[in-house]
């Protein structure tokens, strides 16, 4: 079994995690979290989103957060944007990259942005054009790639179809979001195989949740298929305001902890990452779901018990 | 990738889970839980242990629990026993099977039963002899097979050595306990490969914890290597009173949920199993760590959101 020697991890906690919080998070806390993450060795951070402040009040201060952080020149900071307006704000602010999103299903896309998938595709086009004009690379996200909270299972063929249309808009890297936590190793394999068969040049990122315990098993499956680009969220923050019960991205520290022990290099210092998770825990209500944050790294146990 | 078509799951919640509870659990609650589990399709249940009531007060009523349950003739009920005395009690009670345990490490074995691994081996011999006399099959467990809370990492070679000595005592099936939750897919692969190379006739059972999020990733790895016998605990109950921070066996419902979606048959009805988990949640303090108990099966989400 040959696994990739190294992977890229995109930290989405500051955006995906905080966006899911119903309680307000202060601008200062967001800045502290991003600054802490910027010192962990993580090279990709989804820092903010430029979305409707009415829909997601916790992202209304995206520009202030971005202006307030200490930018580490070794980190690529991206923003999630739903449309041209968001892309223009991200370009104006000078983000390193943009992430444009669409759902695999009309039901979810309608509840998320009030449009069908087909109608959203023109937004994707406009974001790509705005990015091109500003010289900022744009990647895509397809949410509900393994299941929709209203429609249930989502066939790989449907996801491939949406991916193909995104590629037609000029996107070359797409992240597949297990928004509802319905992915299992078999479905991960099915989707990756279908994507590779139909869109061999497309670069893949997998965005898993640990809603039903399969988060790292899904990562392992993707890794065995050669995928080397993953999203994760510090402390396991996150979920989706529109997918009930869909809590918990794969925790970045659980991911790093497993991968490093498998000799898959992440470039991340786990102790610094745990520090950043403690920063997040300081302002998030309730216990973060991360396991390694609670139990400590596997090598710490021996000292704790001694 | 060829996976086994079906697996055997041994439910250890009534023993491993309740044993880890510091608060007392009533005899009636234990009986209700085992009775609920007996109706789920599970074919192997570790029902009780015959251990020192001083060390584990929650197992002092093992005989009353065993006498009180409705035995399902399709279920194989076993008891954990540390020594001849325990084996005699299990034989007298008429259990279907016995599970004798030993640690891979002296540190843990000393804190668990007050003896070195070498000294415990005579207990294994006596349990096997008692089982043979009573016509009751005996399987073995090696705990701390992936790490020791005092010593840290445990080499596969050390586990193989203890397994070889157990085989010398007449044991033909051994369960490997990730007591401290330190296993990762690489270490699972290393141990299974070492065992297969050195003891090719020995049957393997894997007993994983989800302490650091790798529970189901470890199961997946073992499954890919052809292992088809797993321990799990309803609700994810469990841990070890002697391994700090080592909470949470792999939850039986999380395991069944993943495997059935991968077309690996477990014979277990997930809805009935969730009922049994709710019985456990009724008398266990704190929220059980099971994910599927909280989020529901993947097919339920669509209804919940609709």
Q: What is the pLDDT of residues A9-42, one digit of tens each?
A: 999 999 999 988 888 999 999 999 999 999 999 9
Q: What CATH number corresponds to the domain at position A184?
A: 3.20.20.70
pLDDT digits (tens, 9 = 90+) for A107-146: 999 988 899 999 999 999 999 999 999 999 999 999 999 9
Judged by CB atoms closer than 8 Å, whether chains meet at A302 and B151 is answered as: yes
E-strand ranges in chain A read 8-11, 44-49, 76-81, 97-103, 138-143, 147-148, 152-153, 173-177, 203-207, 229-232
Q: In this structure, are residues B93 and B66 in contact, taking their beta carbons and an 8 Å threshold? A: yes
Give yes or no for residue B145 having a pLDDT over 90: yes
Q: Does B216 touch chain A (CB under 8 A)?
A: yes
**Higher pLDDT, residue A222 or A150:** A222
Measured CA to CA, the distance from residue A79 to residue B56 in angstroms comes to 54
Burial class of residue A170 in the structure, from the number of CB atoms within 10 Å of its CB (0-12 exposed, 13-18 middle, 19+ buried): middle
Dihedral sign for Cα B12, B230, A177, A254, please.
positive
Judged by CB atoms closer than 8 Å, whether chains meet at B244 and A181 is answered as: no
Q: Is residue A2 one of the residues assigned to a domain?
A: no
Judged by CB atoms closer than 8 Å, whether chains meet at A298 and B263 is answered as: no
Q: How many domains does chain B have?
A: 1
Q: Does B45 touch chain A (CB under 8 A)?
A: no
Chain A positions in Cβ-Cβ contact with residue B221 (cut-off 8 Å) = 220
CB pairs under 8 A between A and B: 160
Q: In this structure, are residues A62 and A39 in contact, taking their beta carbons and an 8 Å threshold? A: no
Burial class of residue A22 in the structure, from the number of CB atoms within 10 Å of its CB (0-12 exposed, 13-18 middle, 19+ buried): exposed
Chain B positions in Cβ-Cβ contact with residue A150 (cut-off 8 Å) = 302, 305-306
Q: Is residue A3 one of the residues assigned to a domain?
A: no
Judged by CB atoms closer than 8 Å, whether chains meet at B258 and A294 is answered as: no
Chain A positions in Cβ-Cβ contact with residue B108 (cut-off 8 Å) = none
Q: Is residue B285 one of the residues assigned to a domain?
A: yes
Distance set, CA A2 to CA A6, A225, B197 (Å): 12, 9, 20
The whole-angstrom distance between A283's CA and the closest CA on chain B is 22
Q: In this structure, are residues A87 and A124 in contact, taking their beta carbons and an 8 Å threshold? A: no
pLDDT digits (tens, 9 = 90+) for B104-129: 999 999 988 899 999 999 999 999 99
Give pTM, 2 decimals: 0.95
Measured CA to CA, the distance from residue A11 to residue B20 in angstroms comes to 36
**Binning pLDDT at 50, 70 and 90, where does residue A305 land?**
very low
Helix, strand, coil distribution of chain A in percent, nearest 5:
45, 15, 35
Q: Is residue B2 one of the residues assigned to a domain?
A: no
Q: In this structure, are residues A8 and A228 in contact, taking their beta carbons and an 8 Å threshold? A: yes
Mean pLDDT over B210-219 rounds to 96
Q: Is residue A1 one of the residues assigned to a domain?
A: no
Q: In this structure, are residues B14 and B46 in contact, taking their beta carbons and an 8 Å threshold? A: yes
Q: Is residue A298 one of the residues assigned to a domain?
A: yes
The whole-angstrom distance between B238's CA and the closest CA on chain A is 15
Percent of chain A with pLDDT over 70: 95
Dihedral sign for Cα A299, B152, A289, A159, please.
positive
The whole-angstrom distance between B258's CA and the closest CA on chain A is 6
Residue A256: what pLDDT? 98
Chain B positions in Cβ-Cβ contact with residue A288 (cut-off 8 Å) = none
Domain that holds residue B220: 8-305
Q: Does B186 touch chain A (CB under 8 A)?
A: yes
Given B184, B213, B257, which is nearest A215 (Cβ)? Answer: B213
């Amino acid at each position: 079994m040959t696994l990739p020697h190294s992977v890229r991890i995109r930290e989405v906690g500051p955006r995906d995690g905080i966006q899911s919080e119903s309680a307000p998070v202060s601008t200062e806390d967001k800045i502290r979290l991003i600054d802490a993450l910027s010192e962990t060795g993580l090279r990709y951070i989804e820092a903010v989103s430029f979305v409707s402040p009415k829909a997601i009040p916790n992202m209304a201060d995206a520009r202030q957060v971005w202006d307030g952080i200490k930018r580490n020149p070794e980190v690529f900071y991206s923003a999630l944007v739903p449309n041209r307006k968001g892309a223009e704000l991200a370009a104006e602010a000078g983000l390193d990259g943009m992430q444009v999103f669409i759902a695999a299903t009309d039901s979810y896309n309608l509840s998320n942005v009030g449009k069908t998938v087909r109608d959203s595709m023109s937004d994707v086009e406009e974001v790509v054009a705005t990015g091109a004009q500003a010289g900022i690379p744009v990647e895509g996200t397809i949410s509900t790639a393994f299941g929709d909270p209203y429609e249930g299972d989502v066939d790989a063929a449907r996801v491939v179809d949406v991916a193909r249309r995104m590629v037609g808009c000029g996107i070359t890297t797409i992240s597949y979001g297990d928004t509802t936590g319905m992915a299992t190793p078999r479905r991960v394999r099915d989707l990756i195989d279908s994507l590779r068969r139909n869109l061999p040049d497309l670069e893949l990122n997998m965005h898993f949740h640990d809603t039903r315990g399969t988060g790292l098993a899904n990562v392992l499956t993707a890794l065995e298929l050669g995928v080397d680009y993953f999203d994760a969220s510090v402390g396991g923050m996150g979920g989706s305001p529109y997918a009930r019960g869909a809590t918990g991205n794969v925790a970045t520290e659980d991911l790093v902890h497993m991968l490093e022990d498998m000799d898959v290099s992440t470039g991340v210092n786990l102790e610094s990452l745990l520090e950043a998770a403690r920063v997040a825990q300081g302002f998030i209500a309730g216990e973060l779901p991360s396991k390694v944050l609670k139990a400590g790294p596997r090598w710490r146990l021996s000292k704790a018990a001694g």
